[in-house]
Chain A
């Protein structure tokens, strides 16, 4: 299987995907895990701020703003075809 390098930064506003993995080399990774960004969790990009960064995401029933630097730590699987 070809490794997919898509991360949350690739998720357009309104799109939903599933979290595949978290980069733990950055301390933020651990915190994101604790906030519920665990593999397999669906996540939706809600909208970007005026200058394109940060972005609001919706995960586990709440909304959180992440800068691209943090969103990049989260790898996603493309949404299943029927979800789109």
Chain B
């Protein structure tokens, strides 16, 4: 869009994506920009604004993805983000992403935007899901009703997105043209009606083609209202009408491309199967009643339906004046503030002037309906009126599905969210996840191992025995390779996380786990950040922003580093496989179970230490289940895998080299025996067990050398600290690089125990590591300190050094205590636990105890009868209903 140059200093124009949580904004954002932001079937994935450039437009147009919001009245911080950018968005194009499967609720936000004067471009998303439910919706009619351009899309598959992407530059240019003072004609009277026109006057050049959209990219839909708008709205309040001019302008300049209502309906009629409905209106289906003929496009726009009713409009104007804003030029945020003031009926200290406006409005409304209405009922009235208008909008274009809810979702919920089976099924799913993470990862891991062994041989064959060769083999290949072996396991773990998330199950998991979150004094919403923490702690800490309450957010942030992220997986997989060869998957699951229990215990303790009783607003939307698409999962998986490889190539590589240096110098270490001479003597006299004897000597020599090097001196200095937990000095040392990145533990162990072709686990066993010690080491690793990046995020998000220090020291102490209890307690129980099947028995007893407690409590509720009357959560269910003055009643 080079034809346009803004003539006054605006921030760079942009396209703003708004919409309800989980309506597919980020999917659409990715499709529009070609970026790979994380999406999931879970409300609240995006917590701050994301920016990208519109693909295919020379990268000149910004696209801003905003956090999901149900309403412009902010209740959570991320909804506040949307409100803050309202005025900024006024100077760009707002794309309102509407989930077609929950139209009524999604249109609430649309209506709010319209009331503020916006004329959003509607991306009617999830059209495939809508079609699947048996409902039908006519986007063209919706466009007419809402008086906004409407683009049916399926953001997950990318269907229909091209049409939107191609239309956006034109829409933006036209919007800017409408705002531009050049286009203004100050002589015209302004209409002080529903639409504010703060910066701009009329767009006179509508038909001039100056901001004409590029040829060959016609509007797929939405032109029907445009001519009507162009006719009934005199030039003068064009500022709010971006898109309208665009459509009208295009209609006049390139008539052949203008679709009519008939052609518009074409892509809409086959939303599910049409592969990116060709937006081009061919002459065949566009018998083109000349768009310049106004009569052809009447009946007029039904804009009256979606605007605020006259009494509200009058009251809003009065409130704006009372707030000191010129009603005609008020910005969207000023209008929003005025609307909020108008329905702020609870504060007894509100100004008498405002009260007068409210009373007048209530009286006016009461006269209109013929029933009494108190001022206290105004908020209720406004919401009800919006839904009434939504109903009117939908009446003409929407036929609801025969079933009130997607039958598949209803069926699955009956099982997966069942009060009895829900939790066991969740546990089972988690068990499958961890079992398969271990066992399915074994085969590709073997391939990676082979590749590494081959690389080691190749290096050894090509390089003479030198320091460089040692560095490559013992440092780089052993360290980095030792970590890369776990790539398949990590890929599998993330595959499951992506699957659970994309299918919509996570919301159910949060629902099932909410009771426990409540007990921890945490919001149910904190569950998903916690679960995300199993992938990586850093985004999980960012995700705690969805928790409004500061105290709770701090608690969640403090707990987050205790969540066993995927970087800890290599240690766990290595040790589970080595020390528990019969039951590696079970052990892995057990470790994570203990992890959850520790989290729960800490949260519980923190809650009893005086956290707030109220855990804030809990609204957990249950999105419909859907089949995850490879398209969304692929991007997510690839990003995670790449991140892992990148880390192995940078932090782990540097760490491995450093560890190697520390363990390779000083080069000359005084030895107790003349090993080399003995080896030479052995080799000179042939015997049967020559190889074995030589190997034994070589090993003993290397051990003694290593013992003299810096690393082991450091290790021996640290060893007493962790000796009570059953760790050797190598383990003690490995914990240091683990602070940089948890994978560093394995790479360090690999370097310290020798090159990769040795079995690391076997070497550990040889050096006296016991299964019990390994178990304690795994738990210690899981808990001990947040990694450096996590600590950085903790500091940034909390803004407090004290908190950051606490987040560093507290887990370390906790890990030590847990390790001590497990190891020393385990030693005491060793005789019992070491019997065959002892570990299985322990696991079974633990699981049985846990479920018994749950089942007994649940059964208690049932036996007592009366719903939750005898329920342990009775305290939070108190039936005392506050009959406050603010409640509004149905007449």
Q: Which residues of A line the B interface, CB within 8 A? A: 5, 7, 9-10, 12, 19-36, 38-41, 46-54, 56, 58, 60-70, 72, 75, 77
Contacts of B511 in A (CB 8 A): 49, 54, 56, 65
Q: Does B699 contact A (CB under 8 A)?
A: no
Q: Is the CB of B104 within 8 A of A5?
A: no
Residue of A nearest to B112 (CB): A34
Question: Which B residues from 474 to 525 make CB contacts under 8 A with A?
Answer: 507, 510-512, 514-515, 518, 524
Contacts of B854 in A (CB 8 A): 50-51
With A21-B887, A63-B621 already in contact, the answer to whether A54 and B524 are too (CB < 8 A) is: yes
Q: Does B830 contact A (CB under 8 A)?
A: no
Q: Is the CB of B70 within 8 A of A50?
A: no
Q: Is the CB of A38 within 8 A of B383?
A: yes
Query: Which of B401, B405, B507, B885 is in CB contact (< 8 Å) with A58?
Result: B405
Q: Is the CB of B873 within 8 A of A70?
A: no
Q: Is the CB of A61 within 8 A of B405?
A: yes
Q: Is the CB of A50 within 8 A of B889?
A: no
Contacts of A19 in B (CB 8 A): 890
Contacts of A35 in B (CB 8 A): 70, 105, 108, 619
Residue of A nearest to B426 (CB): A50
With A9-B879, A33-B379, A51-B873 already in contact, the answer to whether A46 and B413 are too (CB < 8 A) is: yes
Contacts of B872 in A (CB 8 A): 51
Give the residue among A9, A19, A26, A69 with the most B Cβ atoms within 10 A. Answer: A69
Give the residue among B409, B422, B622 with the most A Cβ atoms within 10 A. Answer: B622
Complex interface bits, B401-428 against A, C-beta within 8 A gives 1, otherwise 0 = 1001100010001100111101100000
Complex Cα distance A22/B383, Å? 11
Q: Is the CB of B384 within 8 A of A39?
A: yes
Q: What are 25 A-B contacts with C-beta separation under 8 Å?
A: A21-B887, A21-B888, A21-B890, A24-B888, A25-B346, A34-B70, A39-B384, A41-B387, A49-B417, A49-B419, A50-B420, A50-B423, A51-B515, A51-B857, A51-B861, A51-B872, A52-B861, A53-B514, A53-B868, A61-B101, A61-B400, A65-B511, A66-B619, A66-B620, A72-B877
Residue of B nearest to A69 (CB): B876
Query: Which of B614, B618, B890 is in CB contact (< 8 Å) with A40?
Result: B890
Complex Cα distance A62/B888, Å? 24
Question: Which B residues from 861 to 885 make CB contacts under 8 A with A?
Answer: 861, 867-868, 871-873, 876-877, 879, 881-882, 884-885
Q: Is the CB of B518 within 8 A of A67?
A: yes
Please count how many residues in chain B sit with their CB below 8 Å of the partner chain's CB atoms. Answer: 68
Query: Which of A25, A36, A70 is in CB contact (< 8 Å) with B105?
Result: A36
Q: Is the CB of B413 within 8 A of A5?
A: no
Q: Is the CB of A29 within 8 A of B877?
A: no
Complex Cα distance A10/B61, Å? 53
Contacts of B887 in A (CB 8 A): 21-25, 29, 75
Residue of A nearest to B403 (CB): A61
Could you list 5 further interchain pairs (A-B, Cβ under 8 angstroms) beyond the known A7-B881, A33-B380, A65-B507? A23-B881, A60-B105, A61-B401, A67-B524, A68-B876
Q: Is the CB of A21 within 8 A of B514?
A: no
Q: Is the CB of B346 within 8 A of A65?
A: no
Complex Cα distance A51/B872, Å? 8
Residue of B nearest to A60 (CB): B104
With A34-B71, A36-B105, A53-B868 already in contact, the answer to whether A65 and B383 are too (CB < 8 A) is: no
Q: Is the CB of A61 within 8 A of B890?
A: no
Q: Is the CB of A39 within 8 A of B877?
A: no
10 A-B pairs with the lowest CB-CB distances in the bound complex, closest first: A25-B884, A24-B886, A65-B620, A39-B890, A51-B515, A33-B383, A63-B622, A52-B868, A34-B71, A68-B877
Complex Cα distance A64/B877, Å? 18
Contacts of B884 in A (CB 8 A): 23-25
Q: Does B75 contact A (CB under 8 A)?
A: yes
Q: Is the CB of B620 within 8 A of A34?
A: no
- Shortest B179–chain A CB gap in Å is 30
Complex Cα distance A64/B871, Å? 22
With A38-B383, A52-B871 already in contact, the answer to whether A67 and B876 are too (CB < 8 A) is: yes
Q: Does B62 contact A (CB under 8 A)?
A: no
Q: Is the CB of A39 within 8 A of B888?
A: yes
- Shortest B305–chain A CB gap in Å is 18
Contacts of A61 in B (CB 8 A): 101-105, 400-401, 404-405
Q: Is the CB of A24 within 8 A of B857?
A: no
